[in-house]
Amino acid sequence: MNDLIKGEKYDWEMVIGLEIHAQVKSNSKLFSSSSTRFGSSPNSQVSLVDAAMPGMLPVINKYCVEQAVKTGVGLNAKINNYSVFDRKNYFYADLPQGYQISQYKYPIVGEGKVTIDFKDGTSKDIRIVRLHLEQDAGKSLHDQNPSKTYVDLNRSGVALMEIVSEPDIRTPDEAGMYISKIRSILMYLDTCDGNMQEGSLRADVNISVRKPGDKYGTRCEIKNLNSIKFIKQAINYEAKRQIEILESGGSIEQNTMLFNTSTGKTRPMRNKEEAHDYRYFPDPDLLPLEISKEEIGKIKSSIPELPDELKNKFIENYKLSNYDASVLTAEKQTSDYFNETINSDPELKNHAKIVVNWITSELFSLLNKNNQDLNNSPVSPENLGQLIKLISTNEISGKIAKDVLEDMFSSGKTARQIVDEKGLQQVTDQGEIAKVIDEVIAENPKMVEQYLAGKDKLLGFFVGQAMKLTKGKANPKMLNDILKQKLNKKN
């Protein structure tokens, strides 16, 4: 078990569960017709329902219900035909109703599971307890004025799916992989835009520590983390804090914590003694939500191919490793791009691994460097396919292909055009390569002597010289073979 962390005295195991809040991708809010658009001017998308004006009644958005069902199916979960909306009561300035409409005892989606894949080829299931629908709250700005808090209700009433996991997660990395996987599934399903910066996807983390084999320790909950980096940081800090307390003979107090992103530390929220007294009860304004088997069936049949299915298909069709296939399928735009590339030429199916490498290392690093996204990549899948074809048929070397890709990226030309214009075709003519090697050998008699005296490292020097003369176009394997042959003949 290398998942343990070392304290001063003992080894400890982390026990982690996540509550993910995913904003439902919809035009209008869960119980009102206000727009859900992000970044509009404050309080411009607030209906009388969202502002909790007296006498206003909620009417549920049919599409949001379908989105939740769809997500449930994607999480391999049980869809409940009958669910109930409850009021979760608490006071806060950005919650005008004084309660959040949520689901407590009867959520719309029950138990499910998702699989995470490790680099070493193994995988692990994380169990889902439930998914329920609820309203988001408004947004408070605390730091604009020393004595005031400013409130914007645009987000108030937007539909959220809360996805609760079992405490099956054991390391910060697993937590990161789990939320990435959930994000990936949501984006394939198109039920959430997955934008963590804008808060469309955020998580509360429950964490405790124990000696391996012991029963669960007392947990603390870290609220509202909106990046994978912060989730890992917060878990690491909080686990260390708990271990220090336990090893010095103290005990953990169950608490709700906030994570300070600039200091990297967690601290307890105030008002904790009343924090969990939400007095849930069924919302008398809303009848129970019933969904027929037929409706569920219809939604099920509309579900696109999900990352895990796609992953298995890639492994089977293209003999890719589990890890390569999971990297390709993590984001829909990546798997789409791969599909388009590999289908652009029938030959490429036999070079799937090369296609993966060119997308996930060369193209990705160029996109990163230029702050661009695969969606608006200047290199189309067809053009990348053409480039890879040129490599696989030995027309250009891999090394030159990198320069060609950069050129394609900045000029928008095709690989063929660039190779033809610059005369980059690989030299595969034995005689021509041999001629260059003879030249190099003749020009460097001392080096040849040293090489023959046992300085094997000099082989690289000769290769370099010969490449220089061919402007990098000699087929590297042929060059190496002929060079060794010729040098050894001298012996």
Partner 1 sequence: MKIDKNTINKIARLSRIKLDDKESEDYIKDLNSILDWVEQLNEVNTENVEPLSNISSSILPKREDISNDTNSSEEILENAPDKLEGFFAVPKVVE
Binding residues vs partner 1 (CB under 8 A): 26-28, 33-36, 41-48, 51, 59-65, 84, 89, 91-93, 140-142, 145-153, 258, 269-271, 274, 277, 279, 282, 286-290
Buried b (16+ CB within 10 A) or exposed e, 213-246: eeeebebbbbbebbbbebbbbbbbbbbebbbeeb
Instruction: Provide, rounded to whole angstroms, the least separation between the CB of residue 135 and partner 1.
Output: 15
The CB-of-60 to partner 1 minimum distance in angstroms stands at 5
| Residue 286 to residue 162: CA distance in whole angstroms | 19
| Minimum distance from residue 197 beta carbon to partner 1 (Å) | 22
In the complex, least distance from residue 56 CB atom to partner 1, rounded to whole angstroms: 12
Torsion of CA 445, 449, 452, 454, to 10 degrees: -130
Q: Which is nearer to partner 1, 290 or 316 (CB)?
A: 290
Minimal distance in Å, beta carbon 171 to partner 1?
Answer: 29
CA neighbours closer than 13 Å in the CB half-sphere of residue 404: 32
Q: Which is nearer to partner 1, 75 or 151 (by Cβ)? A: 151
- Give the span between the Cα atoms of 358 and 363, in whole angstroms: 6
C-beta separation of 334 from 361 below 8 A: no
Least separation in angstroms between CB 221 and partner 1: 13
> Given the complex with partner 1, which of 65 and 73 has the nearer CB atom?
65
Least distance between partner 1 and beta carbon 139 (Å): 10
Helix axes 322-329 and 307-318, enclosed angle (nearest 10): 130
Give the residue with the Cβ less far from partner 1, 46 or 342. 46
Classify residue 396 by burial, with Cβ atoms within 10 Å: 0-12, 13-18, 19+. buried
Residue with Cβ nearer partner 1 (165 or 226): 226
Given a contact cutoff of 8 angstroms between Cβ atoms, the answer to whether 23 and 163 are in contact is: no
Q: How far apart are CA 467 and CA 461, in angstroms?
A: 10
Q: Which is nearer to partner 1, 42 or 472 (CB)?
A: 42
* CB neighbours of residue 327 within 10 Å: 21
Q: How far apart are CA 487 and CA 491, in angstroms?
A: 7
CB of residue 198 vs partner 1: minimum separation in angstroms?
18
Q: Which is nearer to partner 1, 181 or 202 (CB)?
A: 202
Nearest CA to 56 among 33, 81, 76?
A: 33
CB of 83 to partner 1, least distance (A): 10
Q: How far apart are CA 400 and CA 106, in angstroms?
A: 61
Min dist CB 37 to partner 1, Å, is 8
CB nearer partner 1, residue 278 or residue 323: 278
Within a 10 A sphere around the Cβ of 431, how many other Cβ atoms? Answer: 7
Nearer to partner 1, 140 or 302 (CB): 140
Q: How far is the CB of 99 from partner 1 (least distance, A)?
A: 11
* Measured distance CA(34)–CA(153) in Å, rounded: 11
What is the rounded distance in angstroms from the CA atom of residue 269 to the CA atom of residue 220? 11
**Choice between 60 and 245, CB closer to partner 1:** 60
* Alpha carbons 263 and 167: distance in angstroms, whole number: 27
Q: Which of 339, 316, 343 is nearest to 328 (CA)?
A: 339
CB of 72 to partner 1, least distance (A): 18
| CA 293, 296, 302, 303 torsion-angle sign | negative
Residue 260 or 312 having the CB closest to partner 1: 260
- Let me know: does 235 contact 204? Beta carbons within 8 Å: no
Of 270 and 293, nearer to partner 1 (C-beta) is 270
Alpha carbons 32 and 54: distance in angstroms, whole number: 15
- Residue 414 has which token pair? 């095709």
Cα atoms found within 13 Å of the Cα of residue 86, Cβ hemisphere only = 15
